Structure 1
Amino acid sequence: MAVSAVGDKPYTVAYNGSGSKPSEDDAGDVFGREDHHDIKYKKLSWPLVAILMIAEIVSNGMLSLPSSLAVVGMVPGLVIIVFLGVFATYTSWLLVKFKLRHPEEHTMGDAGYILFGPIGREVMAFGTCCFAIFACGGQLLAGQISLAALSDNKLCLMLYTGIFAIPTLLCSLPRTFHGLSWISVASVLSIFIAGILGMAAAGISPDPTRSVDVTVASDFYTAFVSITNPVFAYAGHFMFFVLMSEMKEPKHAMRAAYTLQSFATVFYAIFAGVTYGYVGSHVASPSFSSLPPYWQKVSYGIALPNILLAGSLYAHTASKLVFVRIFRHSKHLHSHTFLGWGVWVALVFLTNGLAFLLAVGVPIFNYLIGISASLFAAWFTYGIAGMFWLHDSYHDGPGFFAWRRQWAQAALAIATILSGAFSCVAGLYVTIRGIVDAYASGQIPSPFTC
């Protein structure tokens, strides 16, 4: 037996060594039995979870991948994209197994408590909120770029961000992910169709002066700056636990993860390779900006629903973490109470408001997204998964002897941790150096300017 705790109440979870989860009737289940509740959270099927994951991860981040290929070359770039997709599938499997063993955990913060105690809970909960809010701000900026392209930059950029922030906030308001799930179908279709059209437009009007290289020699700083794009294009694992907590059958979560990673890896590789092949080494980031004006508008316009919902999912996740933390053991979690809805709406306004203020008020906000991704997403997507396996295998068996008995899996878990550490440190290095270089060259604008 092992004791873990979330919030102020401890839960006892039995380890059976098989990777199966305890009964959903167990008191540790984050939402418990919902038969007679007004608000039911556990309504998601695995296909809907897969669609929500795709809507969140396969978003505007993919538009930076062709520029990564331009820096490192076609072959290394595609190898990195495919490798990271396979690696993200493996870490997804570790996260899902950990959640099934610990149904009481709702977020990475709860997982942090299981691994490291109260300090781990606060650090990882903060990291989840921080990255979610910064990611929401990143989607607002993507919406700004899209609206500016559609209207030929007729308004102040800050106004475009504010216009896009309003529907993002409204889509964040449903209390459950199920309330967002069907909207996400349109979101996935929009980014898929936009990607297809973007590739077709690049093929119709290829750059006649383009250069496409199989490999490109570059220094570590330049290469890793480009590699961070595919590294963080898969950075959606911090939402796995939250989504699994709202599934009708969490045991089917890997079906959703396999669907997500298969779609993302294949689509990323095809989109990056085709776009780079037709546009060449001068491809912009986001890559739609390299298309002819007409096709640029069409592609951005079709992609807007995806950018919108992805931002809403990030804001919803940050709000949900705090809301469940406050009301986990009260009637306000499952009932239509004035206090419950008041706090929920306030949290949604707060998270979206912070994302907007950061996006328009911090001149180095794009770099701060990189810092938050390096500090938190690198661990949530890659490194922390290895710690989950080491923790549970240690408690399942005779401590360190369990690692020795499963030495290959233990070595892979340690390698996963080291990869997360490398991504974190290297990502911080290139981002901070980028900030220094940008200030030195006068590229940083003033806050709240067009």
Structure 2
Amino acid sequence: MYKENGLDYEDPFAPEGEGDVNYRTLEWWQASMIMIAETISLGILSLPSVLATIGMVPGVILIVGLGILATYTGLLIGQFKIRYPGVHSMADAGEVLFQPLGMGRFGKELFGAAQTLYLIFSMASHLLTWTICLNTITNSATCTIVWSVVGLVVFWLFDLPRTLKKMSWLSIASFISIFVSVLMTMIDVGIEKPGKHTMKAVEHPTFQQAFNSVSNIVFAYAGHACYFGFMSEMKTPTDWPKAVTLLQTCEIALYVIASVVIYRFGGSEVKSPAIGSAGPMVMKVAWGLAIPTIVIAGVIYGHVAAKYIYVRIFRGTRHMTKRSALATGSWVGITLCSWVIAFVIAESIPQFNDLLALISALSVSWFSYGVAGIFWLFLNKGKWFSSIRNIFMFISSIFVIGIAFAICGIGLYTSGYSIHNASSNDAWVCKSNAQ
């Protein structure tokens, strides 16, 4: 039980051996594999086109730099969780942050709504990628909306288990899936060299194009909104730094290698998602190999979204860890409704890069960067300038908060402008989006 500032937090997951459902089952490496499956999926497919838009040098600098910042902010989120072990979601964290101001309920609802919005939009991006994948493999055998409905059912069925234990093993398959798919794409473009125009060290895009590219890099490191949920299901939450370090090492290395190689041989006309730059036959095979990561990563987002809603409803009741009719029926209903909403968004914003940029501006900017800086300031209130280390941490925290403001404000403008200018004829139609 955790009590402070008038809050009474009880860990929503009962200790091992209590109840029918044991949630705290993850080793640190299993948590890391789930996060790898969650983040190294759709994000990597947009990065080669980012380099084609802004150039090789600034692109690589931004991929590495934002990756290092994402590592730093991930560690700060872990510190907050250790200090407040009853925090299960960003909503709980928002309540803690706003409680000293007497606005705990407002903070809880604000952060909870933002987290749910981010997760639902991310689910929509996986549904959109699913339709691109199936249309490409089958030569658009049926209506795109039909493929989207099929995806809705598939993702929902995989989200029916209530714990992440089995998902940790599926996440290994997800990582292998995207790794082999991207590797195959890199080999093919290296052999075929489809790019009509060679790569450039620096490109000269419009401001809107450049900032949307930055937003796509930010999305590639998204996942922080789910971190509290992952830590809550770890056997030893203090092992969190090891999980984050493994995740970010894999991310940065794979992102740089894949984006540089595919852009180098795909040229300035490289496609997004990047698999579309491969030859016709290899592209179909690569998309087929990518299906596990498209599904599993989307399912993880769906699981975290549903788990947040479920915990909000049943926290502190026997239904939290029981397999009662009410508990099971509620979980089924919550997951289904979540995927239906994601389906509506995916059909309404059918442009891949624009959807990723919008997600980044709305939520990822804060969950991946700004909120972590606020966490450090909150945890160290009154000690900001007590040592050289704290002064450095204070400056770093202010810096990441500033980055969040910039990405959020400018990103909303540029992504909204791009979506506005996109053809509205692509929404809610049977027209193929195959590459």
Q: Under a length normalisation based on structure 2, what TM-score does the superposition of the two structures give?
A: 0.93
What is the CA-CA distance between 1:209 and the residue it aligns to? Answer: 2.8
Q: Secondary structure at the match of 2:8?
A: strand
Equivalent-residue separation in structure 1 for 2:57 and 2:235 (angstroms): 42
The counterpart of 2:8, out of the listed 4, 7, 10, is 10
Deviates further, 368-377 or 206-215: 368-377
Secondary structure at 1:75 match in 2: helix
Deviation at 1:366, TM superposition (A): 6.7
Q: Match for residue 61 of structure 2? A: 79
Please give the alpha-carbon distance, in whole angstroms, between the structure 2 residues aligned to 1:359 and 1:237.
22
User: For residue 298 of structure 2, what is the aligned residue in structure 1?
Assistant: 311
CA distance in 1, matches of 2:284, 2:68: 33
Q: What's the counterpart of residue 23 of structure 1? A: none
Alignment partner of 1:291 is 2:278: yes
Find out whether 1:228 has 2:219 as its counterpart: no
Q: Distance in 1 between matches of 2:346 and 2:194?
A: 33
Deviations 1:312-339 (A, max 9, x none): 1111111000101111101101111111
The correspondence of residues 263-282 of structure 1 with structure 2, limited to 5 A, is 263-282=250-269
TM-superposed CA distance for 1:445, in Å, is: 3.0
* Equivalences for residues 67-146 of structure 1 within 5 A: 67-116=49-98, 117-146=104-133
- Contact in 2 for aligned 1:362/1:447 (Cα 8 Å): no
Task: Give the superposition deviation at 1:435.
Answer: 2.5
CA distance in 2, matches of 1:172, 1:4: 36
Judged with a 3 Å threshold, the aligned counterparts in structure 2 of structure 1 residues 445 and 238 are, in CA distance, closer, same or farther, namely: same
**How far has the Cα of 1:4 moved from its partner?**
4.8
Q: After alignment, is 399-408 or 245-254 more displaced?
A: 399-408
Cα displacement (A) at 1:216: 1.3
Residue identity over aligned pairs, in percent, reads 36
Aligned-residue offset at 1:434: 1.1
1:363–1:444 Cα contact (<8 Å) kept:
no
Alignment partner, residue 257 of structure 1: 244
Aligned to 2:18: 36
**C-alpha distance 263-399 of structure 1, shift in aligned 2 (>3 A):** closer
Q: Does 1:445 align with 2:426?
A: yes
1:35-54 alignment to 2 at 5 Å? 35-54=17-36
Kindly indicate whether the alpha-carbon contact (under 8 Å) linking 1:139 and 1:307 is maintained by their aligned counterparts in 2: yes
Q: Which residue of 1 aligns with 2:41?
A: 59
Distance in 1 (alpha carbons) for counterparts of 2:279 and 2:351: 29
What is the CA deviation profile of residues 259-301 of structure 1, one whole-angstrom value per residue up to 9, with x for unaligned ones? 1100010000000000000110000111111211001001100
- Show structure 1 runs of 5+ residues with no match: 12-27
What is the alpha-carbon distance in structure 2 between the residues aligned to residue 386 and residue 446 of structure 1? 38
Query: Could you tell me which residue of structure 2 aligns to residue 20 of structure 1?
Result: none
1:173 Cα offset (Å): 1.0
Shift of 1:405: 8.1
Alpha-carbon contact 1:138-1:366 (below 8 Å) kept:
no
Letter in 1 for 2:241: M
Q: CA separation of 1:402/1:393 partners in 2, compared to 1, >3 Å: closer, same or farther?
A: farther
- Tell me, yes or no, if structure 1 residue 148 matches structure 2 residue 123: no
Deviates more, 1:162-171 or 1:81-90: 162-171
Letter in structure 2 aligned against 1:75: V
Return the letter of the residue paired with 1:231: V
Give yes or no for the alignment of 1:411 onto 2:412.
no
**Deviation larger for 165-174 or 316-325:** 165-174
* Deviation for aligned residue 1:69: 0.4
Is this contact kept in 1: 2:216–2:357, CA < 8 A?
A: no
Deviates more, 1:217-226 or 1:114-123: 217-226
2:172 is aligned with 1:191: no
Q: Shift in Å at residue 356 of structure 1?
A: 1.4
The separation in 2 between residues aligned to 1:4 and 1:131, in whole angstroms, is: 28
Which one of 364, 384, 405 corresponds to residue 421 of structure 1?
405
Distance 1:109 1:402, change over 3 A: farther
On the 8 A contact 1:54/1:260 being kept in 2, the answer is: yes
Q: What is the rounded CA distance, in whole Å, between the counterparts of 1:200 and 1:114 in structure 2? A: 49
| Aligned amino acid, residue 243 of structure 2 | A
Asked if 2 retains the 8 angstrom alpha-carbon contact of 1:147 and 1:160, the reply is yes
**Structure 2: runs of 5+ lacking an equivalent:** 99-103
**Are residues 1:338 and 2:339 paired?**
no
Q: 1:4 to 1:104 in 2, by over 3 A?
A: farther
Q: Secondary structure at the match of 1:255?
A: helix
1:207 aligns with 2:205: no
| In structure 2, distance between residues paired with 1:405 and 1:185 | 37
CA distance in 2, matches of 1:134, 1:55: 17
Residues of 2 paired with 1:400 and 1:236: CA distance? 28
- CA distance in 1 between counterparts of 2:267 and 2:350 reads 30
**1:41/1:176 contact within 8 Å kept:** yes
8 Å Cα contact 2:218/2:364 also seen in 1: no
What SS class does the counterpart of residue 49 from structure 1 fall into? helix
Provide closer, same or farther for how the CA distance between residues 201 and 317 of structure 1 changes in structure 2, counting only shifts above 3 A. Answer: same
The 1-side partners of 2:118 and 2:293 are apart by 19
More moved, 29-38 vs 309-318: 29-38
Question: Could you give the per-residue CA deviations for residues 367-425 of structure 1, whole angstroms, max 9, x where no partner exists?
Answer: 4553343121110001110100000101xxx4666589822211111111111111111
Q: Which amino acid aligns with 1:104?
A: G
- Show CA shifts across 1:227-263 (max 9, x none): 2111111011001000000000000011111011000
**Letter in structure 2 aligned against 1:205:** E
Question: 2: distance between equivalents of 1:121 and 1:53?
Answer: 24
Q: CA contact under 8 A between 1:4 and 1:113: conserved in structure 2?
A: no
CA distance in 2, matches of 1:4, 1:34: 28
Query: In the aligned structure 2, how far is the partner of 1:237 from the partner of 1:163?
Result: 29
Rounded Cα–Cα distance in structure 2 between residues aligned with 1:421 and 1:290: 34
What RMSD over aligned residues (CA atoms) do the two structures have, in Å? 2.0
Q: Identify if the C-alpha distance between structure 1 residues 403 and 374 changes in structure 2 by more than 3 Å, giving closer, same or farther.
A: farther
2:133–2:288 contact (8 Å) kept in structure 1: yes
For residue 432 of structure 1, the aligned residue among 407, 410, 416 is 416
